[in-house]
Every structure is written in structure tokens, then in C-alpha cells.
Chain A
Amino acid sequence: QQQVKQSPQSLIVQKGGISIINCAYENTAFDYFPWYQQFPGKGPALLIAIRPDVSEKKEGRFTISFNKSAKQFSLHIMDSQPGDSATYFCAARASGNQFYFGTGTSLTVIP
């Protein structure tokens, strides 16, 4: 059973556009929600993270929107660039110190 559901599986965006990736969860005990970026041949790297007492967090062109009541959170990439082309994973931390990851979104930004 997938604890964190991520969509879409793949996404193609024009350069300068907005990329939006969504995640949903069921476990209300999750207390930390990071997003990771992974380039081919590399390990995932932390991009941005949010805690459930905050509805939005912005770092540069990357924003997390968090909807606690809907149990959903999303990553918005503004002014998407070809260098943003990568696989993005959402995740959620359980109280037992275990991370549950979404299945990933392959983002392609077309010049």
C-alpha cells in the first residue's frame, strides 16, 4: 500500500512555465514533508521541506503548498528551466523515523 501518492508520473513543461507536482497522504501522524530532486545517475537531493503547521514555504523558484485538512501537498516550480529536468519525489516522515516516498515524477522542461 502506497502511503504517499504522487502525480503525475511524468510532466512536460515549456521553459518559463510553471511545473506542479502533487502528493496526497492518509496518515495524519506524518510530521515532516520534504521534496527531493534526483538527476540520472545521482542520489536524491533535498530540495525543500515543510512542516504541517505551515501552509506554504518558498525558496527561490520552488514553493511547497500544504493543505492539512485535505492531506495534500504540492511542489510548484516557477519559471521552469531545462536544468530543472529531473525526477522529483515527495516524502513524508512517520513518528517512527521512517520516510515514505512517492513514486516520483519525471519532469522535462522543453527549451
Chain B
Amino acid sequence: DSGVTQTPKHLITATGQRVTLRCSPRSGDLSVYWYQQSLDQGLQFLIQYYNGEERAKGNILERFSAQQFPDLHSELNLSSLELGDSALYFCASSPTRQVSEQYFGPGTRLTVT
């Protein structure tokens, strides 16, 4: 158990809808990272937050947004969902601003029908 929690575990929704994925980092970790894992693309970095501020941005679509709250938990918002957004979404955390060792959560499996 990495100490990173993600909810929900599974999510099924329809195209055009909006969902929110939640992540609680390990106790004491200030950085949170979001990744998308799909069969054809592998693990793709989406975005990083450090102590409430956006730190790095990867291949995140404009339809997606994230934030980190004062208690350090983070939410990833996905809107106007398309079939291609179906994937596993992982959150990871690390104690520092520069990532070395990341601890991944169990993921949220999103299915868009």
C-alpha cells in the first residue's frame, strides 16, 4: 500500500458528461501528479501540483483541469467526455517539488459509454 488513496475506484459515465476524480497524497507529501494510462498510449503525464500551485504541465487536454486544495488533496476534473477518455487515471505523490520517487495510488478506471 503506497499510502496514496484515490476515489472512486471505477466510474462509468456517458459521452458529454463531467466527472471529478479525487486523490489524497501520502501524509506529508506536497506534490501531486496526475497520469492517464491507456492501452495504446501507456502512461502519460497530465499535470503536477506542488503545495497548491501548478508546477508542471504535460499532455493535458483543455477539457481537463485539476487543482490541489489547502489540505493537499487534489481533484482532476474531466468534462465534455469522449469515448477516447476511457482510461485508468493515476495519482502519484512525492514529498518534494522536484520529483524523484513517486508513490502511485491504485487508480480510477473511467469508462465513457
Q: Does A111 sit at the interface, judged by CB under 8 A?
A: no
Residues of chain B with a CB closer than 8 A to A32's CB:
100
Q: Beyond the given A41-B106, A97-B97, A99-B102, please list 10 additional residue pairs across the A-B interface where CB-CB is below 8 A.
A: A42-B107, A43-B92, A43-B107, A44-B104, A46-B101, A49-B100, A49-B101, A101-B44, A101-B45, A103-B42
Q: Does B95 sit at the interface, judged by CB under 8 A?
A: no
Residues of chain B with a CB closer than 8 A to A102's CB:
42
> Is B42 within 8 A of A101, CB to CB?
yes
Give, as a whole number of angstroms, the nearest-CB distance from B105 to chain A.
5
> Is A93 within 8 A of B104, CB to CB?
no
Q: Which of B41, B97, B101, B104 contacts A43 (CB 8 A)?
A: B104
Chain A interface residue number, banded: 20 to 34
Contact mask B43-72 → A, CB, 8 Å, 1/0? 111001000000110100000000000000
Q: Does A54 sit at the interface, judged by CB under 8 A?
A: no
Q: In the complex the two chains form, what is the Cα distance from A42 to B4 in whole Å? A: 12
A47-102 contacts to B, CB under 8 A, are: 49, 89, 91, 93, 96-102
Q: Does A45 sit at the interface, judged by CB under 8 A?
A: yes
B71-113 contacts to A, CB under 8 A, are: 90, 92, 97-107
Q: Does B2 sit at the interface, judged by CB under 8 A?
A: yes
Give, as a whole number of angstroms, the nearest-CB distance from B53 to chain A.
13
Q: Which of B43, B48, B56, B105 contacts A101 (CB 8 A)?
A: B43
Residues of chain A with a CB closer than 8 A to B106's CB:
41-43
Give, as a whole number of angstroms, the nearest-CB distance from B13 to chain A.
21
Q: In the complex the two chains form, what is the Cα distance from A102 to B13 in whole Å? A: 29
Q: Which of A42, A96, A104 contacts B42 (CB 8 A)?
A: A104
A89 nearest in chain B by CB position:
B43
Q: Which of B42, B92, B99 contacts A97 (CB 8 A)?
A: B99
Q: Known contacts A43-B90, A43-B92, A43-B107; is A97 also within 8 Å of B55 by CB?
A: yes
B43 nearest in chain A by CB position:
A101
Q: Which of B4, B97, B99 contacts A99 (CB 8 A)?
A: B99
Q: In the complex the two chains form, what is the Cα distance from A57 to B69 in whole Å? A: 38
